[in-house]
Chain A
Amino acid sequence: MSTVEPVTVAGDAELATGHSVSRVHRRGDDSAVLRMSEAEAAQIGNDPSTYDDDERVLLNMGPSHPSTHGVLRLMLEMEGETVRRSKPVVGYLHTGMEKQAEQLTYLQGCTNVTRMDYASPLFTELAFSLATEKLLGIEVPERATWIRMLMCELNRMASHLLFMATNGMDLGAVGMMIYGWREREEVLRFLEKVTGLRMNHNYIRPGGVAADMHDGWEADIERLLELIPPRLEEYDILMTGQPIWRERLQGVGALNADEALALSATGPILRSTGFAWDLRRDDPYLAYPEVDFDVIVGSYGDCYDRYAIRLNEIRESMWIVEQILDNMPSGDYRVQDKKVTPPPRVRIDQSMEALIHHFKIFTEGYKVPEGETYAAVESPRGELGVYMVSDGTSKPYRMHVRGPSFINVQTMPHLMQNGLIADGVAIISSIDPIMGEVDR
């Protein structure tokens, strides 16, 4: 048994959920995590000596279940309707992206990582670009930084609207699916105008962004900012104050800050416990120190808090977007370093050097100096980090993505313990995992 004292960082007795952090350290049958292999699970009915214990049933949920959260499989050990232990089984979407990244150049790398967290792809692109820029030792122009910030905040809004939609649908508020997507389509339309694609944009690249904003983007953003707040009010009417919604989410899946930290959970899960941790404020990147925003924090660590945090984060993101709209600097949208940035297409006809640079950058790729680094951003799901090791060639030697969903999935058994299976659905939804990021 462990003799380590769990570190209590945020132990405010008033916010305690009644269970102590030691429950997440348990290893045996008293743990919430069902540590049973497939082979063992298959043998359960075969051993007559276990027949007396017919109280507990092993139920399999997934991997093919209504596709809101992708291919997650849960092995649930249940007593009636109550979940005692559970085991999230992942890997059904493992794509070998980290291995693939070793085959692609740094310029191509963003096309790969963008498909990890497919609900908010610009964040992974951003983290990858920040890590590459650290290794290259280049500095991105101011306008590019502000454009990145704008696009990331819009992506955060789109991701949280997706959460609203799928959370509603999972809990039976099927109309919420339609409402959430309606707003998301508007944001996606703006993203399509700027990046060319609705999803998986490959827009934020090492050195800046792929293209400048289109003419009239200010008017489009203003239109978006006029359009969405009244619709968020609709969500408040439809859900926030509604008794059924509250009954389904309040008190469900609660955890306290020490447990969340011990389980390495970040993002809305950690913030819902009352622990105010947001990388945009506490470990800033891009130009976040220059914009004003609040970090939304919950009190009870339950599903309702996570829902409310995400709803209000949409409002905070809109506030940040408004400030960016007022303060967007002029300048280059990417670093003017010929070795890293491809030349404008027009110059290729005019200059031999431009042609050679274009050729080298797109076929061989630019070489990045040796080193290792870690860069993290605050994605809608938590801390999204990229650990990159470079060996001096034009392809990353090792690229590891710290996907927040992969780590947040570990909280699932602890949140679901002793809850009903219907609450289990609410809990999975409130963790908001994106399986592309979990499995990579």
Chain B
Amino acid sequence: MRVPGVGDTGEILDDGLGGLEHNFVTGSVENLVQWARSRSLWPATFGLACCAIEMMASGTAHYDLSRYGMEVFRASPRQADLMIVAGRVSQKMAPVLRQVYDQMMEPKWVISMGVCASSGGMFNNYAIVQGVDQIVPVDVYAPGCPPGPETLMHAIFTLHEQIQTGELVKRREASGGGAALMIEQRDGQTAGSSIGS
């Protein structure tokens, strides 16, 4: 996006057309749409197990997803764009997951949070679906058991970046399903800080 000739903000002119050069930003429609989409993702919670607790933690004051416009976790899938599958998906839950995903409106994205959602995790048995990508197309895989709020936010930023640059759409077209981005775990960054700080 080009921001033409913005100098000192004190130069904003009151006169509408006369201030055309100073008071407007311009860009292509595609860029503006991608910018808006990436900055106002509303998550639908699919908080299933332990990862849900860390997801809630990232929404509260210490880690604060609200800075990114995302603290409104919509319970209704119709009002959400991003489904964060947080936790292990059991056989009984799988059809419910698919139904909720189907009820979301396009454009929609999926973050598979934690190892259980990404691949079945440590539970390689009869009860757990080995990877939620067997049910819905996944765009970002976040590893960890559970991934701390820092890793979840890294996953979200990755998604934001990819949406904004349009890379996500290209990856989806290439794979035929989700974008399947894998990120690395970024936890432990606050481990050194002291209590109460």
Within 8 Å by CB, do A and B touch in the complex? yes
Residues in A lying within 8 Å of B, measured CB to CB: 63-68, 70-71, 91-97, 99-100, 103, 111-112, 115, 118-119, 162, 165, 177-178, 181-182, 184-186, 189-190, 192-193, 198-200, 220, 223-224, 226-227, 435-436, 439
Q: Is the CB of B45 within 8 A of A111?
A: no
Residue B28, interface by CB 8 Å: no
Q: Which of B2-10, B54-62, B176-184 contacts A (4 or more CB under 8 A)?
A: B54-62
Residue from A111, A193, A198, A220 within 8 A of B148 (CB atoms): A198
Residue from A91, A95, A184, A186 within 8 A of B195 (CB atoms): A186
Contact A178 B196, CB 8 Å, known A67-B47, A111-B122: no
Chain A neighbourhood of B53, CB < 8 A: 118-119, 162, 199
Residue from A67, A185, A223 within 8 A of B45 (CB atoms): A67
Given contacts A70-B49, A97-B123, 10 further A-B contacts (CB under 8 A): A64-B100, A67-B52, A70-B48, A182-B61, A184-B57, A185-B60, A192-B191, A199-B53, A220-B195, A435-B49
Which of B48, B50, B73, B194 is packed against the most chain A CB atoms within 10 Å? B50
Chain A neighbourhood of B96, CB < 8 A: 63-64, 92
Residue from A118, A178, A193, A224 within 8 A of B49 (CB atoms): A118
Residue from B52, B75, B88 within 8 A of A95 (CB atoms): B88
Write the nearest CB–CB distance from B132 to chain A, whole angstroms.
14
CA distance A65 to B47 in the complex (A): 9
Residue B92, interface by CB 8 Å: yes
A sample of 27 cross-chain residue pairs with beta-carbon separation below 8 angstroms, ordered by A number, consists of: A66-B73, A67-B45, A67-B47, A67-B55, A67-B56, A67-B86, A91-B90, A92-B48, A92-B90, A92-B92, A93-B93, A94-B92, A95-B49, A96-B126, A99-B125, A99-B126, A99-B127, A100-B125, A115-B122, A178-B60, A182-B62, A198-B148, A199-B146, A200-B50, A200-B146, A223-B196, A226-B196
Q: Is the CB of B146 within 8 A of A96?
A: no
Write the nearest CB–CB distance from A398 to chain B, whole angstroms.
16
Residue from A91, A100, A177 within 8 A of B60 (CB atoms): A177
Residue from B52, B126, B194 within 8 A of A70 (CB atoms): B52
Chain A neighbourhood of B55, CB < 8 A: 67
Chain A neighbourhood of B86, CB < 8 A: 67
Residue B128, interface by CB 8 Å: yes
Interface residues of B in 120-164 (CB under 8 A from A): 122-123, 125-128, 145-146, 148
CA distance A111 to B145 in the complex (A): 10
Chain B residues bordering chain A, tally (CB within 8 A): 42
Contact A112 B122, CB 8 Å, known A94-B90, A94-B92: yes
CA distance A224 to B100 in the complex (A): 41
Q: Is the CB of B93 within 8 A of A189?
A: no
Q: Is the CB of A95 within 8 A of B127?
A: yes
Q: Name the residue on A nearest B84 (C-beta).
A: A67
**Which 9 residue pairs across A and B have the least CB separation, nearest first?**
A67-B47, A96-B127, A181-B60, A118-B50, A67-B45, A96-B125, A92-B93, A185-B62, A223-B195
CA distance A181 to B64 in the complex (A): 11
Q: Is the CB of A181 within 8 A of B125?
A: no
Which of B55, B75, B123, B126 is packed against the most chain A CB atoms within 10 Å? B123
Which of B46, B92, B195 is packed against the most chain A CB atoms within 10 Å? B195
Q: Is the CB of A436 within 8 A of B49?
A: yes
CA distance A119 to B49 in the complex (A): 10
Residue from A71, A118, A199, A436 within 8 A of B93 (CB atoms): A71
Write the nearest CB–CB distance from B76 to chain A, whole angstroms.
10
CA distance A119 to B139 in the complex (A): 28
Q: Is the CB of A193 within 8 A of B191?
A: yes
Q: Name the residue on A nearest B46 (C-beta).
A: A64
Write the nearest CB–CB distance from B129 to chain A, whole angstroms.
11
Q: Is the CB of A182 within 8 A of B90?
A: no
Chain A neighbourhood of B75, CB < 8 A: 64-66
CA distance A292 to B28 in the complex (A): 69
CA distance A64 to B48 in the complex (A): 9
Q: Name the residue on A nearest B94 (C-beta).
A: A92
CA distance A224 to B197 in the complex (A): 11
Residue from A96, A177, A186 within 8 A of B196 (CB atoms): A186
Chain B neighbourhood of A112, CB < 8 A: 122
Residue B26, interface by CB 8 Å: no
Write the nearest CB–CB distance from B121 to chain A, whole angstroms.
9
Chain A neighbourhood of B60, CB < 8 A: 165, 177-178, 181-182, 185
Chain A neighbourhood of B190, CB < 8 A: 189
Q: Is the CB of B87 within 8 A of A185?
A: no
Chain B neighbourhood of A119, CB < 8 A: 53
